[in-house]
Amino acid sequence: MTSVLPLARPEIAALEPYSHAHWDPSLERLHANENPWRVAGDATTGGLNRYPEPQPHELVERLAGLYGVTPAQVLVGRGSDEGIDLLVRGFCRAGLDSVLTFPPTFGMYKVAARIQGAGVVEVPLRADDGYSLDVDAALAAWHPGVKLVFVCTPNNPTGNAVDPSAIERLLLELSGRSLVVVDEAYAEFTPAASLARRLAEFPNLAVLRTLSKAYALAGARIGTVLASAEIIGLLRRMIPPYALPVASIEAALAATTPVELQRACERVGVLIAERERLRQRMGALPLVVGVLPSDANFLLVRCRDAGRLLAAGVAAGLLVRDVRSQPGLGDCLRVSIGTPEQNERLLAAWESA
């Protein structure tokens, strides 16, 4: 098995992490310079006056079970954005290293790289082939300074799931040369199997998951990096010691009980049904050129007059995403799937636009 740690920044691999206050829930706390009284309105169990447990073991174990990995393969942070930032900072030296992305795609990969001073190599998705990933072009564009390859599947904003065989080829071709980061933020909305089950097979694989979409916790900011224990160990050196707020930890635990997981599954089913209903209805509208197939909780809509449809939505009290500034999407809007009532209201507004 080929280790990816040699790809990491050597100063991060050698970093002595911050030594946080010792965690022992059986003892009363007079060791962390906390306020001993709760603030008014604090409804949490743990208390907002107390620092949260670093990488809370109960939540780590819960998410490991949810995603089918071991606790040692889990790092929990403030949304997938923190995972992206940690990976870029951990593997990319400013001015020397780069990330490789497949636009149009989630913008935070490029933003995190630019903040770190890393380069960005872009290999466009093939718009004429359903926004598929061009592995040959990616390998041709790759150079030894490319430390991270970001693949979003289902892809945001196009909505399509990337062919698993394309990702597998990247993993094999770049073994020992780059870490392939597969962002599965919308995995619950597609029948495709998560690549997390193949972490042992591919040491250069990292998977991003989130509770923001399917589990209705966007405001709690709970994202997860799934990777080998050595990669997780590297990231744990870098993450702030008390990254997750107490309220977010408790919200995540409450949302991932068996009862709530079943409820989330049912709601995902409703969203998928609404997604297909919207796709058919929107595709017949005069101002719509076409609606792309989607494996996510949104639709990418090609418009004859995107500005007019945007205005019609606002007039109906609804906001959709203008993605016309992204490469190859100059006539496109992205529509998140809402409640049946919201979806019907948007359809009515667009039909009368």
Q: How confident is the model at residue 164 (pLDDT cuts 50, 70, 90)?
A: very high
Q: How many domains does the chain have?
A: 2
CATH number of 280's domain: 3.90.1150.10
| Whether residues 87 and 102 fall in one domain | yes
Q: How confident is the model at residue 2 (pLDDT cuts 50, 70, 90)?
A: confident
Total Cβ atoms within 10 A of residue 154: 22
Please compute the mean of the pLDDT values over residues 262-270 and round it to a whole number: 98
Alpha carbons within 13 angstroms on the beta-carbon side of residue 297 total 20
Q: What is the pTM (predicted TM-score) of this model?
A: 0.96
Cα 284 from Cα 2, distance rounded (Å)? 52
- Asked if pLDDT for residue 159 goes beyond 80, the answer is yes
Summarised one tens digit per residue, pLDDT across range 108-142 is 999 999 999 999 999 999 999 999 999 999 999 99
> Nearest CA to 89 among 186, 177, 15?
15
Please compute the mean of the pLDDT values over residues 219-247 and round it to a whole number: 96
Q: What percentage of the chain reaches a pLDDT higher than 70?
A: 100
Cα 96 from Cα 233, distance rounded (Å)? 24
Q: What is the mean pLDDT of the chain?
A: 96
Cα 151 from Cα 207, distance rounded (Å)? 10
Cα 341 from Cα 108, distance rounded (Å)? 31
What is 267-324 written as a DSSP string? HHHHHHHHHHHHHHHHHTSTTEEEE---SSSEEEEEES-HHHHHHHHHHTT---EE-T
- Asked if pLDDT for residue 173 goes beyond 80, the answer is yes
Q: Where does a domain end: 256, 280, 313?
A: 256
Tell me the residue range of the domain where 342 lies.
260-351
Please compute the mean of the pLDDT values over residues 173-195 and round it to a whole number: 97
| Whether residues 13 and 130 fall in one domain | yes
Q: Where does a domain end: 221, 256, 291?
A: 256
| Whether residues 205 and 115 fall in one domain | yes
Q: How confident is the model at residue 193 (pLDDT cuts 50, 70, 90)?
A: very high
Q: How confident is the model at residue 3 (pLDDT cuts 50, 70, 90)?
A: confident
Supply 16's token pair.
């002595």
Alpha carbons within 13 angstroms on the beta-carbon side of residue 55 total 21
Supply 206's token pair.
């990292």
CATH number of 25's domain: 3.40.640.10
Taking CA atoms, 129 is separated from 126, 205, 290, 335, in Å, by 5, 26, 15, 22
Cα 107 from Cα 127, distance rounded (Å)? 18
| Whether residues 313 and 184 fall in one domain | no
Cα 225 from Cα 308, distance rounded (Å)? 40
Q: How confident is the model at residue 325 (pLDDT cuts 50, 70, 90)?
A: very high
| Whether residues 188 and 239 fall in one domain | yes
Please give the DSSP secondary-structure letter assigned to residue 1: -
Q: Kindly list the strands in the beta sheet with 321-322, ordered across the sheet, starting from the edge strand earlier in the chain.
A: 288-291, 298-303, 332-336, 321-322
| Whether residues 269 and 192 fall in one domain | no
pLDDT of residue 163: 97
Please give the DSSP secondary-structure letter assigned to residue 53: P
pLDDT of residue 1: 61
